[in-house]
């Protein structure tokens, strides 16, 4: 429950999953004599979902993160945890303090919703339990709703497969000191070790079995959160997170698991466990706490009069992928009854368009939005896992922002392990028509191994789809500078993830001008001969990641 600054200074704050009974602070103090012997902050700290007067602060106590029971080596007791919020990183000017109970049933995770802070400013925070103090991290509030900021530095990323490479991209994201970070899904992967093998070979091992139980998912999240590069990115800025498929099961859709032909009678229990572990390990508000197999993850974050972030969920409510999933020529993809968002979320999104009074409306979502046709075979093929498999759903969303007069619609996408820059067309079959929006697609943090550089114009998809303006299959992220008059997008690449410490560089940059749904390329780095590869029709799907997932 959000509290004012005055109450934060004088009241212990408790937080937990919706509907749970919260133990008293005295109950936690009864176990103070059972002092922790090892540092319980091995998973770092995080913040998220900023508002003009606050944000969420998160941590999870886990002195031994790789404990098989998923409880991080914590004793089976509740512990009192205190926290501090400061206007400087030396903590000589405290803005708020408080304490809460880290509960056994929540895997000792903590979600504190702070309110009463000043808009548009940075804060520093830390936690303490017993004699142990957490790392210090930075967060910030959003601008007041009626203020037009001069700039927002926002980074977005997706797809971090622990086995495929080091999380160097996260370290390079942290070095940019952004205001806000979006993670668009596949924060962790569910597979048993060496089930999903990178073309460059797996260099690290997943702990535990394929994730199916609550203990499995807790353990896997703990393994990922133990990565110091990932922690560094969490420690510099608040995050907005949404899931894709691998947080639960590859290519899941609503209540359908990946391969319906192979019975999985425990899938809904698996989904319930995955949702709970996801909430426990992410800086989300109590409004996103799961209830059984349901979780309210789509939400809207406003950044003054500059931007709306419509954070979407394209997994929980979607119609199952048609024609058996994969790349198909499938007339059923055009069925008006098919949806990738569900009716309620679609209406929420369109209502948001009509109520928008900001310069930039950004859709933070998971799968490829623009049409991407493979037409070099005997028939045209499209991916049934992306919006090409939900044509009416895409048309309704696009028409929604056109009808609402949205000033600058920009779709932000992850999932495909490659970077793209696309212009969204009202008529995909006529490349000369005016663009009605722009899509920016981030490559993966590590999934797929090192990848390779190439010349975009030589890519078969770019040749077949003129609205696709850029392609790259190296690892990295997208760094944006959002201003009232323009959005600058830089595609940052990390040439190697199979070794640590690789330097990052800008591979390409684009500008989107206010009121103009056109991509203007402002920078294109010559390909590096050591990383270049000429892509052809035989391997293009594998390099975009989707074919590799389908083979599992």
In a domain, 518, yes or no: yes
Q: Given 123, 140, 157, which residue is the final one in a domain? A: 140
Is a pLDDT exceeding 70 seen at residue 541?
no
Question: What share of the chain has pLDDT > 90, as a percent?
Answer: 86
First-to-last alpha carbon distance for the chain, in angstroms, is 42
Same structural domain for residues 124 and 193? no
Helix (H) or strand (E) holding 523: strand 520-524
Which residues does residue 381 pair with via DSSP β-bridges, in sequence order?
Answer: 374
DSSP of 183-218, one letter per residue? E-S-SS--PPTTSS--TT---S---SSSS-SHHHHH
Task: Report the alpha-carbon distance of residue 515 to residue 541 in Å, rounded.
Answer: 34
By the 8 A CB rule, do 539 and 551 touch?
A: no
Same structural domain for residues 188 and 67? no
In a domain, 376, yes or no: yes
Same structural domain for residues 285 and 219? yes
pTM of the model: 0.93
Over residues 219-228, the pLDDT tens digits come to 999 999 999 9
| Domain enclosing residue 38, as ranges | 5-140
Over residues 134-180, the pLDDT tens digits come to 999 999 999 999 999 999 999 999 999 999 999 999 999 999 999 99
Which residue has tokens 């990323």? Answer: 157
Task: Give the pLDDT band of residue 31 (cuts 50, 70, 90).
Answer: low
Same structural domain for residues 115 and 193? no
Same structural domain for residues 132 and 202? no
Task: Report the alpha-carbon distance of residue 322 to residue 314 in Å, rounded.
Answer: 15
Q: Residue 243 is part of a domain; what is its CATH number?
A: 3.60.21.70
Same structural domain for residues 90 and 207? no
Nearest residue to 389 (alpha-carbon basis) of 297, 461, 318, 316: 318
Same structural domain for residues 116 and 195? no
Same structural domain for residues 131 and 238? no
Same structural domain for residues 120 and 175? no
What pLDDT, on the 0 to 100 scale, is given for residue 63? 98
In a domain, 145, yes or no: no
In a domain, 157, yes or no: no
In a domain, 492, yes or no: yes
By the 8 A CB rule, do 11 and 83 touch?
A: no
In a domain, 411, yes or no: yes
Q: Given 95, 124, 140, which residue is the final one in a domain? A: 140
Same structural domain for residues 303 and 342? yes
Task: Report the alpha-carbon distance of residue 103 to residue 21 in Å, rounded.
Answer: 10
In a domain, 511, yes or no: yes
Residue 93 is encoded by which pair of tokens? 């000017």
Same structural domain for residues 92 and 38? yes
Q: Residue 46 is part of a domain; what is its CATH number?
A: 2.60.40.380
Task: Give the pLDDT band of residue 305 (cuts 50, 70, 90).
Answer: very high
Residue 228 is encoded by which pair of tokens? 């110091």
Same structural domain for residues 351 and 208? yes
What pLDDT, on the 0 to 100 scale, is given for residue 200? 96
How many separate domains does the chain show? 2
In a domain, 241, yes or no: yes
Is a pLDDT exceeding 50 seen at residue 538?
yes
Over residues 330-378, the pLDDT tens digits come to 999 999 999 999 999 999 999 999 999 999 999 999 999 999 999 887 8
């Amino acid at each position: 429950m959000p509290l004012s600054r005055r109450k934060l200074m004088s009241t212990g704050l408790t937080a937990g999953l919706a509907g749970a009974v919260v133990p008293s602070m005295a109950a936690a103090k009864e176990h103070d004599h059972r002092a922790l012997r090892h540092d319980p902050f091995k998973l770092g700290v995080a913040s998220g979902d900023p508002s003009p007067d606050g944000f969420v602060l998160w941590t999870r106590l886990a002195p031994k993160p790789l404990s098989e029971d998923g409880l991080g080596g914590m004793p089976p007791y509740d512990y009192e945890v205190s926290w501090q919020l400061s206007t400087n990183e030396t903590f000589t000017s405290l803005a708020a303090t408080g304490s809460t109970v880290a509960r056994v049933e929540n895997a000792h995770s903590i979600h504190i919703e702070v309110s009463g802070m000043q808009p548009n400013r940075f804060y520093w925070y830390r936690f303490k339990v017993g004699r142990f103090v957490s790392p210090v991290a930075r967060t910030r509030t959003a601008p007041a709703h009626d203020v037009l900021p001069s700039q927002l530095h926002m980074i977005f990323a997706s797809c971090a497969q622990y086995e495929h490479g080091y999380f160097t991209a996260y370290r390079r994201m942290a070095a940019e000191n952004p205001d806000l970070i979006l993670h668009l899904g596949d924060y962790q992967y569910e597979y048993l070790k060496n089930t999903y093998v990178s073309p460059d070979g797996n260099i690290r091992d997943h702990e535990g079995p394929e994730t199916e139980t609550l203990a499995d998912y807790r353990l896997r999240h703990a393994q990922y959160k133990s990565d110091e590069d990932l922690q560094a990115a969490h420690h510099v800025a608040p995050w907005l997170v949404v899931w894709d498929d691998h947080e639960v099961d590859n290519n899941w859709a609503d209540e359908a698991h990946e391969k319906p032909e192979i019975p999985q009678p425990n899938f809904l229990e698996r989904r319930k466990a995955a949702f709970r572990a996801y909430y426990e390990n992410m800086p989300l508000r109590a409004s996103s706490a799961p209830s059984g197999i349901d979780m309210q993850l789509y939400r809207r974050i406003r950044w003054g009069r500059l931007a709306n972030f419509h954070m979407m969920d394209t997994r929980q409510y979607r119609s199952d992928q048609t024609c058996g999933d994969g790349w198909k020529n499938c007339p059923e993809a055009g069925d008006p009854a098919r949806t990738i968002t569900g009716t309620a979320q679609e209406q929420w999104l369109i209502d948001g368009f009509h109520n928008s009074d900001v310069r930039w409306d950004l859709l933070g979502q998971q799968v490829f939005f623009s049409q991407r046709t493979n037409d070099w075979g005997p028939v045209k093929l499209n991916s049934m896992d992306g919006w090409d498999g939900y044509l009416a759903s895409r048309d309704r969303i696009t028409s929604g922002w056109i009808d609402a007069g949205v000033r600058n619609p920009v779709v932000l996408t992850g999932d495909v392990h490659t970077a793209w820059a696309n212009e969204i067309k009202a008529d995909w079959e006529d490349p000369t028509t005016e663009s009605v929006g722009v899509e920016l697609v981030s490559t993966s943090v590590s999934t797929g191994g090192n990848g390779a550089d190439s010349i975009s114009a030589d890519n078969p998809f770019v040749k077949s789809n003129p609205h696709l303006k850029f392609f790259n299959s190296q690892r990295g992220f997208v760094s944006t500078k959002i201003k009232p008059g323009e959005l600058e997008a830089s595609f940052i690449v990390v040439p190697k993830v199979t070794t640590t410490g690789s330097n990052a560089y800008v591979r390409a940059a684009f500008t989107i001008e206010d009121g103009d749904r056109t991509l203007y390329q402002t920078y294109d780095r010559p390909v590096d001969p050591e990383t270049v590869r000429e892509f052809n029709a035989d391997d293009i799907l594998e390099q975009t990641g989707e074919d590799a997932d389908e083979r599992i």
